[in-house]
Structure 1
Amino acid sequence: MPQNTDHIQTTHVGSLPRTPDLLEANGRFQEGEATAQELDAALDTGVIDIVRKQREIGLDIVNDGEYGHTMSSSVDYGAWWNYSFSRLGGLTPTNEDRWKDAEVKRSSPGNIVLTSFPDRRDRARFRDAYEDPTAGVLAHRASVAQPKITGPLTYTGQDAVVGDIRRLKDAMAETGAQQGFVAALSPGSCARVRNEYYSTDEELVYACADAMREEYKAIVDAGLTVQIDDPSIAESWDQINPEPTVEDYLAFTKVRVDALNYALRDLPEDQIRFHLCWGSWHGPHTTDLEFKYLVDLMLTINAGGYSFEASSPRHGHEWKVWKDHSLPEGKVVYPGFVSHSTNVVEHPELVADRIEQYASVVGRENVVASTDCGLGGRLHPSIALAKLESLVEGARLATERLF
């Protein structure tokens, strides 16, 4: 992992705002009005441009903005997950949108019940606000239907991930970027679609692990870092109604962690970073499970670095967790020092203060300044870029104080 030697390095979680040209090309391709070659050309141009912007802002560790992960519109909280539907065999399309349509599935242990978004406990508590289009809780988004699993899961995205890798490496070569990462879906998050084929929860999760491993391996074999996107570790807590015991939830979650480690077997830890968050929707989040219950389990994941929310109003205080938990030697953390969930642009001094807090508990060499979650699909492009600028400036201030 890229430990700091002379300055606080900077990165972000992955998703960056798509350009109008890319959204248009995507829409035309989905409607059959554009060829795959035309979409590829738009992606090639878009990735070079977004990597160049990251470098101009001053980010040390860049990515492709997740441009190869199709967004339905400029506001899209689910592209990090939905992209997998076109890269997996064994799925059958449906008309169900789990952001709108109630749907329940049962899993074990603890008879855990995962619900769809309308039945989340956070939404139930603040239902009037969630259903008020003027409240600013949820922005307008295009409906995206999720498939169901009707056969054995296989990975069919070989050409797509090769395209992601090629575009990022070409853009890095053109802009002089030295470090790059590509985001990929975790087995636990992959398993959150409706299952009509596998007989047990564990069988389903491990099938997802076998399939998604192909994507992880392709990325690391290309010399890039793979970021495992896994909100399921923390976010699923709010998706269980009624609320389970912490013990039952951790047992449920451990199955997902074990499956992820199985998928990552024999892959180099120094090319793996893990991202945990409590969900990208703009809601109160009063039902989030506290980080102190998750940190030990997170640290068992075979990754060289761990990304998590650290500036969210619900989780900004949790740097104190590291007073009682030791970061394994040689590993780093990627705390989010600017948030995807507010339009307020954080002051660089605040970013620097947050970096210093983490440096005081895990060491200055082990803190890579990042974002809480992906900014694309959640914030206006001008605000997203301003937050990255503030992040880089805050890291510069912190560097002056710490090195």
Structure 2
Amino acid sequence: MSLLKLRPPHRVEHVGSLVRTPELFEQRNLKQQGKGSPEDLKAAEDAAVKHVVEMQRELGLGTITDGEMRREVYFEGVFDNLEGMTFLPHRPLSEFKSYLPHVKILSRMGLTDSPSFHCSGKIKRTVPFYVDQFKALKSVVPAEDVGRIKVNMCPSTWIHQRHGSDMTYDRTVYATDGMFPPHLIPWCPQCITDEYFDDLGVAYRAEIKELYGLGCRNIQFDDPTFAFFCNDDMIKDMEAAGVDHEALLDTYIRAINLCTMDRPQDLNIGLHMCRGNFTGGMHFSEGGYERIAARVFNKLDVDTLYLEYDDERSGDFAPLKYLPLNKVAVLGIVTTKKSKLEDAATLKARIHEAVDVLANGVPGRSKEAALNQLCISPQCGFASTWQGNPITEEEEKAKLRLLQEVAKEIWQ
């Protein structure tokens, strides 16, 4: 199943989050100051969702999200709703993995702690993550467009990447995690006892099943995990710390696959490989996909890969040669981090360049088939935190319209 099989007319996606409306921005700002009321915030969220739904429909985008108007930050809603997880508003940076690009940045900023979680009990999904948000979104989307609704969520790897097996959970709860990395014992899959990710997989599958039953046909994991493995400095520091990054990459591929296994054929699951999109559009990591592409593009059990290709941080299109025939790549060729509008001719040339790489890939395919495996999008969300990137809604719409104009010329 691929994104194109679900929506043949649509070639333009957006990754998920959108610039908050002025009214919602003000209510979020009041909340940060300990002012305002929950009722006023809820009303502003409801109005903002209706507004961005109409905007997406008018622009003719492939999917419709709620723009994450009900979230303060993109990862909100998963780990804070899981039984067994405890929120720590001031977790010391010494308990984060120092080789992670964003941890280095936070340290250079002089910060000594950051919000996070710790697992002190068995992971269970006792309440939904986004079911209520999906229902609210579905209520303001015309019936014929419900199949285009997309739900974004952070990946199951999110906490473990930051803290590792030594700091993510109490070892009396998950004592066997990581003992037998899959790549070390491929002949004995039953020996793999990664219980922490097993339980997370159960929780995510339950959420996905409930969303599907309500009509959701598009889910996207917003995941900086894999792009961070493209960062040469991080790999070097992991090796210096004695971390087997190859085994860890296999562990994280398996973690995602546990979440997506046994899904219905008409459910499209995508994964966005993000390099960071913090307040103000700050990025955390750099490096092309070459280091991970052959393994991740082929072994990751998702239908769609959202790939960032907006500037030199992302490397070239060469890794696309590893894209298998049964997956779609959404090329994020327009930046959400700057307001300047890209040049249409340059974008079209880049798409043709990607087609050439894909056509000569492994396996090879015709240019027509290669083009059919591609869509285009902004490289990331416009507002992964409620404060948003340095871009206005009008500039956001101009970038999305530009992508539509380019798509009409390329896929006419």
Residues 24 and 44 in structure 2, CA contact (< 8 A), matched pair in contact too = yes
Could you say if the C-alpha distance between residues 295 and 237 of structure 1 is closer, same or farther in structure 2, counting changes exceeding 3 Å?
A: closer
Aligned residues with identical type, % of pairs: 22
Residues 77 and 130 in structure 2, CA contact (< 8 A), matched pair in contact too = no
Partner of 2:55: 53
Give the alignment's TM-score, normalised by structure 2.
Answer: 0.75
Partner of 2:396: 384
Partner of 1:303: 302
SS at match of 1:61: coil
Partner of 2:408: 396
Give deviations 1:119-151, integer Å, cap 9, x for gaps: 26xx89xx6xx78xxxxxxxxxxx973233222
Report the AA paired with residue 308 of structure 2: E
Residues 92 and 147 in structure 1, CA contact (< 8 A), matched pair in contact too = yes
Residues 185 and 228 in structure 1, CA contact (< 8 A), matched pair in contact too = yes
Q: Is 1:328 equivalent to 2:335 in the alignment? A: no
Instruction: After TM superposition, list the pairs within 5 Å mapping 1:2-401 onto structure 2.
Output: 2-3=3-4, 9-26=11-28, 31=34, 33-35=36-38, 38-68=40-70, 70-71=71-72, 79-96=73-90, 102-105=93-96, 115=100, 117-119=102-104, 145-158=115-128, 161-173=130-142, 179-191=148-160, 192=162, 195-197=168-170, 198-199=174-175, 200=177, 202-224=194-216, 225-235=218-228, 238=231, 242-244=237-239, 248-268=244-264, 270-281=267-278, 288-298=286-296, 299-315=298-314, 317=316, 319-323=317-321, 325-329=322-326, 331-360=327-356, 361=358, 363-376=370-383, 377-382=388-393, 383-399=395-411
Report the AA paired with residue 314 of structure 2: H
Could you say if the C-alpha distance between residues 27 and 212 of structure 1 is closer, same or farther in structure 2, counting changes exceeding 3 Å?
A: farther
Could you say if the C-alpha distance between residues 196 and 305 of structure 1 is closer, same or farther in structure 2, counting changes exceeding 3 Å?
A: closer
C-alpha distance in structure 2 between counterparts of 1:336 and 1:208, whole Å: 29
Report the AA paired with residue 34 of structure 1: S
Report the AA paired with residue 390 of structure 1: L
Report the AA paired with residue 310 of structure 2: S
- CA-based RMSD of the aligned residues comes to 3.4
Residues 104 and 114 in structure 1, CA contact (< 8 A), matched pair in contact too = no
Higher relative contact order (CA 8 A, sep 6+): 1
Give the alignment's TM-score, normalised by structure 1.
Answer: 0.77
C-alpha distance in structure 1 between counterparts of 2:299 and 2:138, whole Å: 30
User: How many residues get paired?
Assistant: 361
C-alpha distance in structure 2 between counterparts of 1:164 and 1:90, whole Å: 23
Runs of 4+ deviating beyond 6 Å: none
Question: In the TM superposition, what is the alpha-carbon distance from 1:273 to its structure 2 partner?
Answer: 1.2
Q: Which moved more, 1:44-53 or 1:172-181?
A: 172-181
Q: Which moved more, 1:79-88 or 1:179-188?
A: 79-88
Question: In the TM superposition, what is the alpha-carbon distance from 1:272 to its structure 2 partner?
Answer: 1.0
Residues 264 and 302 in structure 1, CA contact (< 8 A), matched pair in contact too = yes
Question: In the TM superposition, what is the alpha-carbon distance from 1:391 to its structure 2 partner?
Answer: 1.6
Residues 230 and 290 in structure 2, CA contact (< 8 A), matched pair in contact too = no
Residues 309 and 335 in structure 1, CA contact (< 8 A), matched pair in contact too = yes
Give deviations 1:258-305, integer Å, cap 9, x for gaps: 1211121211354211211222245686x6343012122322122121
Report the AA paired with residue 56 of structure 1: E
Report the AA paired with residue 55 of structure 2: K
SS at match of 1:163: helix
Report the AA paired with residue 37 of structure 2: A
